[in-house]
């Protein structure tokens, strides 16, 4: 389970969050604290059972200083890693066809590269929402690009 918690900073806040996780027998996989103006903590954890998810979220919302708790599909640092992996995979696939034909314009070449990136990402991600998150695009932008290149994704 991946959570995004907005918070008001105070001494002992992470300790109290960890205590909730211990009480509910959850394993903390990673924690990322974004101490910018927004004040957000990203927490990835493994639950003992899926049934306890609502109770864990409710218990975290009761921690003094926690304003809101939302489940998120990915943690920003992981999202960036997935974006980079998708781009690298697409680049590796197109490296063999690095020669640009004389008849091809820059716009046509960029379109080919964009299509290759989309195809590589489609092999890894099942839905247009996941594609968008991995590539840093909105859900609708992904759908437009898939339509533009005549591509179809399983969950899109």
Half-sphere exposure of 148 (CA within 13 A, CB side): 14
Does 101 lie in the same domain as 63? no
Does any domain span residue 110?
Answer: yes
Q: Determine phi and psi for 88, rounding to 5 degrees.
A: -65, -45
Residue 98 belongs to domain spanning = 77-148
CA distance 87 to 97: 16
* Contact predicate 31/14, CB 8 Å: yes
| pLDDT band at residue 23 under the 50/70/90 scheme | very high
- Render the burial of 9-20: b for 16+ CB within 10 Å, e for the rest: eeeebbeebeeb
Does any domain span residue 153?
Answer: no
Boundary-marking domain end, from 50, 72, 94: 72
The predicted-structure confidence for 95-133, as pLDDT tens digits, reads as follows: 555 565 666 787 888 888 888 888 888 888 878 888 888
The predicted-structure confidence for 24-52, as pLDDT tens digits, reads as follows: 999 999 888 877 656 889 899 999 888 99
């Amino acid at each position: 389970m991946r959570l995004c918690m907005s918070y008001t900073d105070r001494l002992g806040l992470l300790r109290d969050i960890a205590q909730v996780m211990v009480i509910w027998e959850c394993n903390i996989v990673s924690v990322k604290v974004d101490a910018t103006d927004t004040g957000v903590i990203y927490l990835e954890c493994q639950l003992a059972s899926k049934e306890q998810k609502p109770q864990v979220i409710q218990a975290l919302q009761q921690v003094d200083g926690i304003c809101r708790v939302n489940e998120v599909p990915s943690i920003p640092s992981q999202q960036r890693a997935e974006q980079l992996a998708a781009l690298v995979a697409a680049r590796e696939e197109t490296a063999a066809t690095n020669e640009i034909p004389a008849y091809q314009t820059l716009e046509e070449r960029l379109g080919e590269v964009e299509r290759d990136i989309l195809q590589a990402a489609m092999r890894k991600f099942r839905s247009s929402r996941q594609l968008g998150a991995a590539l840093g695009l909105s859900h609708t932008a992904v759908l437009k690009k898939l339509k533009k290149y005549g591509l179809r994704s399983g969950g899109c």
